[in-house]
Amino acid sequence: MPVDPVALTADLVRCPSVTPTEGGALVLLEHLLGDAGFDCTRVDRGGVPNLFARWGRQGANRSFGFNGHTDVVPVGNEDDWSVLPFGAEIKDGYLYGRGSTDMKSGVAAFAAAAIDFVIDTPPDGAVILAITGDEEGDALHGTTALLDWMARNGEAMAVCLVGEPTCPDVMGEAMKIGRRGSVTLWLTMRGVQGHAAYPHRANNPIPAMARLVDRLSSHELDKGTAHFDPSTLAVVTFDTGNTATNVIPASCRATVNVRFNEAHSSQSVVDWIGAEAGKIAEEYDVDLDIKVKVSGESFLTPPGDLSDLVAAAVKAETGVTPVLSTSGGTSDARFVKDHCPVVEFGLVGKTMHQVDERVAVDQIIQLKAIYKRILTDYFS
């Protein structure tokens, strides 16, 4: 009997798997996939739950992989919800609940498609599901742990599809063939505290930081590339923590986040900001401290066999030809791209992370059909 992806989505939503809590979601999937003949292994690391499942021969030349996550962001103020956040209530054609869009419906759709496919038409190859419980968190021990374990144990995906939501408004309108990189820098400038009435006895770090923030914000990083929009820099904080009106503060802090295309690397961005900050710190005679976090490098899977395969299946099931996009934030595809060619396709993500997050029931059914067609076409 075919696996119902809507019922499976509802079962997963009822699992309160707020990062990094497993919440029962991976246990549910392990039982379901194991009963269907998949070899399942829990690859937990650093307190993070992960699940690897393979149907077919280990090391098969043709192996199609799916990647996704069952962890979700916090619900926020539960009183703002019109339904129970983990109730999986269906009304007016929508299934409500935290994670319904991002991305338990995607996991349910590819799990259901994979089970039905290997039962209906057992392929000459392998179908692999790599599912993490740590995508919404630090992502240090999620998909990276799965890929590390696969490398140690002779497991490999020839290609991979990440089931994140990719469509802005209409089902089928976009797929991701790459992502921008992301780097965050915490900048601190330290001067000398003093009385506001005697500024010559102090060294105010605020003008120095203001000059730096203006210089960074005014700079055009690039004009975009063939597959990417222009890189962006956003100043997300600027503060001193000073509440007194008659005190020049000793330090000033700012945080900037840069989303960059393949014209840059995280190191080139850090080097540029560091050089600009260093020049201003020297000019204003303030001390400078910089802390850096790289969330991911920019990457691109060039249009070709994999994107053509996915696009054809999407067109066949929806009548829509997806645009090849690199927009949005980071995803776990940034880790998978070092293992094998990877693209992303999923449903409409308009309500992800919002109060009353919800997914159209017919989209879940459609998504399973797309994923099953992809598997059929890949192994045919």
Q: Are residues 223 and 252 in the same domain?
A: yes
Q: Are residues 242 and 111 in the same domain?
A: no
Q: Does residue 160 contact residue 375 with C-beta atoms inside 8 Å?
A: no
How many whole angstroms separate alpha carbon 222 and alpha carbon 135?
A: 29
Q: Which residues are the active-site residues?
A: 71, 135
Mean pLDDT by 10 residues, the chain (380 residues): 97 96 97 98 97 95 97 96 98 98 98 98 96 93 97 97 97 97 98 97 98 98 96 97 97 98 97 98 98 96 97 98 93 96 97 97 98 97
**Which pair of structure tokens corresponds to residue 51?**
């699940």
| CATH number reported for the structural domain that contains residue 234 in this entry | 3.30.70.360
Give the Cβ contact number of residue 158 at 10 Å: 18
Q: Are residues 127 and 37 in the same domain?
A: yes
pLDDT on residue 180 = 96
Q: Are residues 24 and 117 in the same domain?
A: yes
How many helices (H) does the chain have, and how many strands (E)?
A: 9, 19
pLDDT on residue 374 = 98
Q: Are residues 175 and 188 in the same domain?
A: no
pLDDT on residue 138 = 86
| Single residue among 266, 296, 326 that ends a domain in this structure | 296
Q: Are residues 153 and 267 in the same domain?
A: no
* Domain count for the chain: 2
Pairing outcome for strands 159-162 and 342-344: parallel
Q: Are residues 245 and 351 in the same domain?
A: no
pLDDT on residue 29 = 98
Q: Are residues 50 and 168 in the same domain?
A: yes
Taken as a whole, the chain contains a residue count of: 380
Q: Are residues 363 and 315 in the same domain?
A: yes
Q: Are residues 108 and 33 in the same domain?
A: yes
Q: Are residues 162 and 224 in the same domain?
A: no
| Single residue among 274, 296, 318 that ends a domain in this structure | 296
pLDDT on residue 328 = 86
Is residue 215 exposed (0-12), middle (13-18) or buried (19+ Cβ within 10 Å)? middle
From residue 257, alpha-carbon distances to 188, 196, 215, 252, 328 in Å are: 15, 32, 14, 17, 14
pLDDT on residue 110 = 98
Q: Are residues 61 and 148 in the same domain?
A: yes
| CATH number reported for the structural domain that contains residue 172 in this entry | 3.40.630.10
What are the residue ranges of helices labelled H in 4-56? Answer: 5-13, 25-35
| Single residue among 243, 267, 296 that ends a domain in this structure | 296
In whole angstroms, what separates CA 150 from the centre of its chain? 21
Provide the residue range defining the domain that includes 373: 5-179+298-379
pLDDT on residue 71 = 97
H/E segment holding residue 158:
none
